[in-house]
């Protein structure tokens, strides 16, 4: 039971802590941002309800650098989720200073799946985003049936170059 709870809370805890660290840049992308725009913690809080169930039905890795793309993605992310669409507008992001990186796991048949963006860091002129997908081993503990679509996102300083995604997949035993 304790391990199941830990596996369920891990994505929320990572998101609440900002989810991403750029070791090459100690500045906060929201320093001196216009009033009313979201910071890293605010984006994590806005995305937390969708960490287990979102409207993003396919596996996706996205970099959002403008408000039009962000508004369309937010509408898709919140669509089909109980209380989602229309519940809250997309958080305002200062895209002159920041961008949003999103990783969606796609539809999974049960609970026991999660996705996080562990880190974002510069490497050879590009950014690398480390995405971790976790699945609880179905044979070692029960899962609640019903489709889930886990999603994670982080706010990072704007980078106009390429963003490469590193994929990590792990299975967690539940005793």
pLDDT by residue for the chain (175 residues), tens only, comes to 333 333 333 333 333 333 443 434 444 444 455 667 788 888 888 888 878 788 888 999 999 999 999 999 998 888 867 655 556 788 999 999 999 999 998 888 777 788 889 999 999 999 999 999 888 766 656 666 677 888 899 999 999 999 999 999 887 776 5
Domain ranges for the chain, please list them.
2-172
Predicted confidence at residue 10, as pLDDT, reads 36
Convert 2-67 into a string of H (helix), E (strand) and C (coil).
HHHHHHHHHHHHHHHCCCCCCCCCCCCCCCCCCCCCCCHHHHHHHHHHHCCECCCCCCEEEEECCH
**Contact status, residue 56 vs residue 77, Cβ threshold 8 Å:** yes
Predicted confidence at residue 7, as pLDDT, reads 37
Q: For residues 103 and 168, what is the distance between their CA atoms, to the nearest angstrom?
A: 12
The two tokens of residue 169 are 């997949």
Q: For residues 99 and 83, what is the distance between their CA atoms, to the nearest angstrom?
A: 26
Predicted confidence at residue 89, as pLDDT, reads 82
Predicted confidence at residue 1, as pLDDT, reads 35
Predicted confidence at residue 85, as pLDDT, reads 54
């Amino acid at each position: 039971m304790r391990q199941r709870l830990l596996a369920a809370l891990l994505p929320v805890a990572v998101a609440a802590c900002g989810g991403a660290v750029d070791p090459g840049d100690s500045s906060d992308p929201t320093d001196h941002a216009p009033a009313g725009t979201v910071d890293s913690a605010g984006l994590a809080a806005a995305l937390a309800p969708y960490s287990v169930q979102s409207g993003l039905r396919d596996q996706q890795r996205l970099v959002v650098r403008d408000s039009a793309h962000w508004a369309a993605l937010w509408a898709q992310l919140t669509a089909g989720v109980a209380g989602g669409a229309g519940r809250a507008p997309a958080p305002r992001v200062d895209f002159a200073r920041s961008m949003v990186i999103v990783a969606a796991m796609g539809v999974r048949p049960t609970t026991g799946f999660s996705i996080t963006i562990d880190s974002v860091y510069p490497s050879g002129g590009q950014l690398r985003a480390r995405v971790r997908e976790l699945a609880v081993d179905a044979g070692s503990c029960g899962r609640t049936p019903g489709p889930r679509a886990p999603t994670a996102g982080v706010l990072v300083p704007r980078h106009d170059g390429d963003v490469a995604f590193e994929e990590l997949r792990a299975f967690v035993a539940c005793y």
